[in-house]
Amino acid sequence: MKRYYIRTFGCQMNVNDSQKMAGMLKSLGYEPARSWEEADLILVNTCSVREKPDQKVLSALGEFKKIKNKNPDAIIGVCGCLAQRAGYEILQKAPFIDMVFGTTNIHHLPQLLKEAQAGNKAVEIIEDIDENETELDRYPTVRDSIYTAYVTIIRGCDKKCTYCIVPYTRGRERSRRIGEILQEVQWLVEDGVKEIHLIGQNVTAYGKDLGDVKFHELLYAVADIEGVERIRFTTGHPRDLDEETIKAMAEIPQVCEYLHLPIQAGSDRILKAMDRGYTQKEYLKKIELLRKYIPDIALSTDIIVGFPGETYQDYMETIKVLKEVEYDQVFAFKYSPRPGTPAAQMPVTEDSETVSRWLSDLINIQKEITFKKNRAYENKVVEVLIEEEKDGKLTGRTRTNKLVHIDGEHNLLGEIVKVRISKANRFSLEGELAEKLV
Ligand code: 5AD
Ligand code: SF4
């Protein structure tokens, strides 16, 4: 029996692609290996969003070289965003690699594998979108979680934010046909999944390329499938988040009260240079609308600090927004120039240490806000979907995406239960079982 090991870097799209590749390998008779040392096939699914993930992948390749030395028969493949962007460079740096393929031809894995097994270099990096790429969607996913599942609804991004590599690594927007999405959701529910997480680089643009269906209509259709207890979606773009979608979020009982809405920067000047297509005021209006329809919605965002030309005054606009919105969680990154993007041509004005200090100050400010938000849960009763049972502790998430640890009780895996929160930590909540729900 042959064994595979997949190492995944990057976002949910990559995680879902890896789950599909695992499904594909399963259909070819492969079993998962416990570690890469035991594997006959190692796949590295790469990310290229910032320089750090690039470097992580390149240093992982050093480890794989050792494996190849020990087990020359092991096939090593590199795929994903870095492979799409710089596959030939990777091959030059690490000539022991057997397979390199990009993000739009993952469905060719079986043929590529055959070629590599025959002793050839299997390389396929194509710029154009392969219209048969949706073949990938037909494979069942192999997931860690039994009760929650990602469903890809749209691939690529047309936004062209000036800092972002994604349009180059993932191509233009392509929505999946609604019938196929609903079919996959149906299969997942039959498989025991309770929470459906719709994903895409830009989910709120869903259907624009198809012309016959809009994102909010997809939400209603998914909610109509019996057995779907919870619906989440990421990532939405503030520009495409319309009132119809917000209304649907409020109206559909299964749509969770949580939204990740990246702002990237608070300053209008920087937002313009990023080509985000909204001002601070317009973004804040969307937040206001969200809170009008869904008063207890939890919010998170992404921030880039140190974009070319950003001054202290610009940076303070971002801090102002964080204090005003009071997000539950913020993912903040230091700007990293990406090859071929328009921003990579713009002169960076602040020195690196100053930007690092801004970033760490921002993270510290947010830490207190997150803690305050968590403390507001104390003594409240919330719904939790139990996803894990370990050492007498249950772990799950609230509808607002907070991690909750619960003492005692067993056999509640996959159940939605009511929990009284007894204590708030910085990154999680603790509580006791109040009542079984579903
Ligand atoms: N530099 C720093 N952060 C970036 N992101 C995307 N591109 C860059 C870049 N060049 C961040 C954005 C995005 C998140 C996934 O990564 O905040 O929302
Ligand atoms: Fe990384 Fe972006 Fe690719 Fe996701 S789409 S893996 S975040 S580069």
The ligand 2 atom nearest the CA atom of 53: 1
Residue type, 132: N
The domain 260-375 is classified under which CATH number: 3.40.50.300, 3.30.2350.10, 2.70.70.10, 3.30.750.200? 3.30.750.200
Same fold for the pair 143-256 and 260-375: yes
Residue 79 assigned as binding residue: no
> Cβ distance 344 to 338 under 8 Å?
yes
The ligand 1 atom nearest the CA atom of 336: 1
Tally of residues, the chain? 438
Nearest to 399 by CA among 277, 265, 252: 252
Sheet bearing 75-80, strands edge to edge = 31-32, 3-8, 41-46, 75-80, 99-101, 122-124
What pLDDT, in 10s, does the model give residues 335-369? 999 999 999 999 988 999 999 999 999 999 999 99
Taking CA atoms only, the protein residue closest to ligand 1 atom 18 is: 302
The ligand 1 atom nearest the CA atom of 164: 7
What pLDDT, in 10s, does the model give residues 361-411? 999 999 999 999 999 999 999 999 999 988 888 999 999 999 999 987 678
Token readout for 31 is 């079993």
Any ligand 2 atom below 6 A from CB of 48: yes
Any ligand 2 atom below 6 A from CB of 11: yes
pLDDT reading at 191 higher than 50:
yes
pLDDT of residue 61: 84
Residues 195-220, mean pLDDT to the nearest whole number: 96
Any ligand 1 atom below 6 A from CB of 264: yes
Any ligand 2 atom below 6 A from CB of 83: no
In whole angstroms, give the CA distance from residue 176 to residue 137. 9
Listed in sequence order, the residues at least 6 apart from 414 whose beta carbon sits closer than 8 Å to its beta carbon are 146, 147, 192, 194, 385, 386, 387
Taking CA atoms only, the protein residue closest to ligand 1 atom 2 is: 335
pLDDT of residue 238: 97
| DSSP H/E element including 124 | strand 122-124
Q: How far is the CA of 289 from the centre of ligand 2 (A)?
A: 29
Residues 225-232, mean pLDDT to the nearest whole number: 98
Q: Domain 381-436's class?
A: mainly beta
Any ligand 2 atom below 6 A from CB of 16: no
Q: How far is the CA of 251 from the centre of ligand 2 (A)?
A: 31
Token readout for 49 is 């969003």
In whole angstroms, give the CA distance from residue 203 to residue 319. 27
Q: Which residue among 9, 50, 274 has the greatest number of ligand 1 atoms within 8 angstroms of its CB, and so is best to mutate?
A: 50
Percent of the chain past pLDDT 70, that is, above it, reads 99
Determine how many CB atoms are found less than 10 A away from the CB of residue 72.
8
Domain definitions of the chain by residue range: 3-124, 143-256, 260-375, 381-436
First CA to last CA distance, the chain: 40
Tokens 């520009």 belong to: 239
What pLDDT, in 10s, does the model give residues 38-57? 899 999 999 999 998 888 88
Any ligand 1 atom below 6 A from CB of 238: no
pLDDT reading at 77 higher than 60:
yes
pLDDT of residue 260: 98
Any ligand 2 atom below 6 A from CB of 77: no
The ligand 1 atom nearest the CA atom of 343: 10
Least confident piece of the model among 88-97, 203-212, 408-417, 422-431 = 408-417
Residue 161 assigned as binding residue: yes
Rg, C-alpha atoms of the chain: 22
> Cβ distance 338 to 164 under 8 Å?
yes
> Cβ distance 204 to 173 under 8 Å?
no
Any ligand 1 atom below 6 A from CB of 168: no
Q: Indicate the pTM of the whole model.
A: 0.95
148 cis-preceded (ω within 30 degrees of 0): no
φ and ψ of 191, to 5 deg: -85, 0
What pLDDT, in 10s, does the model give residues 337-346? 999 999 999 9
Listed in sequence order, the residues at least 6 apart from 374 whose beta carbon sits closer than 8 Å to its beta carbon are 402, 424, 425, 426, 428, 429
pLDDT of residue 438: 46
Residues 254-262, mean pLDDT to the nearest whole number: 98
In whole angstroms, give the CA distance from residue 65 to residue 42. 11
pLDDT of residue 436: 57
In this structure, which topology does domain 3-124 adopt according to CATH?
A: Rossmann fold (3.40.50)
The hierarchical CATH code for the domain 143-256 is: 3.30.750.210
pLDDT of residue 280: 98
